[in-house]
Amino acid sequence: MISIFFPLVCSIFMVVAQQATAENYYCIDKGNYTLNSTYHDNLNHLLSTLPNSQNNNGYGFYNLSYGNADDQVFAMALCDGDAMPDSCQRCLNESTHLVQQLCPYQKEVVLWHNNCMLRYSNRSLFGFMESFPRVILYNTQNASSDPDTVEAYFKDLRSLLDNLKSRAMAGGSLKKFALDSIKSAGFKTIYGLVQCSPDLSKIDCNNCLDDSFGNLPGCCNLKKGGVVLGTSCRHRYEDYLFYDISNVTQAPPPSPMPQPPPPPPLTVPGRKKESSATVIVVIVFASTVALGIIMSIFVCLRKRNAKTLMAQTNKHPLISNERMEEVSVESLQYDYETIKLATGNFSKELGKGGFGVVYKGRFSNGQDIAVKKLTGESAQCDVDFKNEVMLVAKLQHRNLVRLLGFSLESRERLLVYEFVKNGRLDHFIFDPTKRENLDWDRRYKIIGGVARGLLYLHEDSRLKIIHRDLKASNILLDEEMHPKISDFGTARHFVVDQTQDSTSRIVGTYGYMAPEYVMHGQYSVKSDIFSFGVLILEIISGQKNCVLEGQHERTENLLTYTWRHWREGNATKIIDPVMRGRRGSEIMRCIHIGLLCVQTNLVDRPTMNNIVLMLNSNSVSLPVPSQPAFYMHSNTGGVNHNQLPQRESVNEASITEISPR
């Protein structure tokens, strides 16, 4: 499938890539296993079992796991939609033998081999849309030397791919695959193919392919063929027939509106046959007109409702009609009564805060959910609701809480999230008993996961998102203690090349807010990095960044406390006592990184790209931090809130206690 292509050299962050002559694969730096360990045995069992027919969904998709707890291995495989069953089986058999040779001892690997993809990991892979890693390849021949001809070529190509995307999305849970061709002026026929992993939702498939198509201008400009291979989706185009259409079962194009059956023949005594024919024509015509009127009324009502919602949305400059249309699809919108039933009439409360209350629920299929029920009747509440829906629906990452849908009925604004089993991070690190369950390995994993989530928001997603309220209570922990960033009600979308914005409406939580934001309303990616630095120091110390008053408490905030001990060479004093004596150098390095993030001058703070590098490589040298931002101090060394800018209202400050778990 890819032998005629030459690889485009791409810099994909935090993934160790190795290119072989015939294979495309990634040995992902997520930890290693040892020879003959339990994990190794589980992996061997799983790979030997995977190609068997009983693991196949019937359309070349495999998903299974083996083992328990930390030694559990998860695997997933997907054959090309046009691959014959014997070809698919042969590809998987070869892949299961190749993969361990190419990436020995790695716990997470992905391999694209011939007409199939195989991946395994020590984490669950099912149902997660992931943009990376991926391989981008292209045909070395240009489509044309004429700019106008090339422009027409790629215009027709985009039309073809968009059509295929719609058909693949509609493919259901067994197979999301489509192929077709289009005639391009002055060219041969353009052939295209798209495929999503069938475990993805309709909206995830849409987002994955949109992201995949976004690589076309950079990788394949002027080229007459290109392919983007991802773990969740792929697409390819050529000016020749490259796929095997003999074994294709793909999603059909959208069906036209069914027409009403013709009425039975009418016979009227004493009339001629011409009269009967006239009556039939009149009735058919009248029925068609009536049906058209009914459909027009239905469409108009839907458009009016959509326009009303969009008109309210347009009052906010950061929300576009395009995104509102994307998240208003039926696959995301839930019926209010369904949610009410799932939550037992909103009876089991998980938490509450400035934006409303969160309830636990369970759908009839057994899926646990968390429902955020927003309170307030102000226009700002509507803006925050739409903002969160449209932002989170576009964001798909392992370290972000997953939005399942929403409801806008009965004057209720509801957000439906995945249920995150272990709840909020602050319930662990600030609790004297629970934080004993967080050893350094788990805390380090949480720091790294939040960093990867922020990196995705700032640099790797199709949108550039500033969270603006990153704090311990907005980090949720799943069953395996992996962190998920939540609460995007105050998040903001930056356009391409935008680096900073300002606002007169200060929202967030004091203690996590960067000084330029508190004093001047200026926010940027460096605002989130300041908050992340505070979070690192809180995770390490088990203490909040606030003034702790009392006979045995310190009378300075955490940043002041940490900086003083750092300058004195006694930074180990800030480490939570339950972790002291364990991996001291690694903990000290994280304290160093935390101090770099909270420096007063935003220019001195590192980017998330650099932070993740610092966290994952001891060979990256760390600059010397300067004094962190302490805001304004009272005589006791604490924060003097009377000197800070005033907010519009209490509810607008996202000092939230809600947790979409």
Q: What are the CA-CA distances from residue 487 to residues 471, 472, 527, 556, 657 (Å)?
A: 10, 11, 16, 29, 10
Judge contact between 640 and 633, C-beta under 8 A.
yes
Contacts of 271 (CB under 8 A, 6+ apart): none
Phi first, then psi: give them for residue 65, nearest 5 degrees: -145, 165
Residues 6+ apart with CB under 8 A from 567: none
Strands 116-121 and 349-353: unpaired
Q: Measured on CA atoms in the order 442, 443, 448, 454, is the torsion positive or negative?
A: positive
CA distances from 231 to 18, 54, 195, 392, 404 (A): 16, 23, 11, 21, 21
Three-class SS state of 248: coil
CB 522 within 8 A of CB 501: yes
Query: Active-site residue numbers?
Result: 469
* Adjacent-strand bridge partners of 439: none
How many C-beta atoms lie closer than 10 Å to residue 474's C-beta? Answer: 29
CB neighbours of 25 closer than 8 A, spacing ≥ 6? 18, 99, 102, 103, 109, 110, 111, 112, 113
Cis peptide before 133 (omega within 30 of 0): yes
Pair of tokens at residue 318: 């950061």
Start-end of H helices in 28-146: 38-49, 85-102
Alpha-carbon distances, residue 559 vs 286, 421, 556, 570 (angstroms): 77, 31, 8, 14
From residue 656, alpha-carbon distances to 489, 490, 560 in Å are 10, 11, 25
> What tokens appear for 107 in the block?
């716990």
**Cα distance between residue 607 and residue 593, in whole Å:** 11
Sign of dihedral through CA atoms 30, 533, 511, 457? negative
The CB density around residue 546, as the number of other CB atoms within 10 Å, is 14
CA angle (45 as vertex; 43, 47 as ends), nearest 5: 65
Instruction: Encode burial over 328-340: b for 16+ CB neighbours within 10 A, e otherwise.
Output: beeebebeeeebb
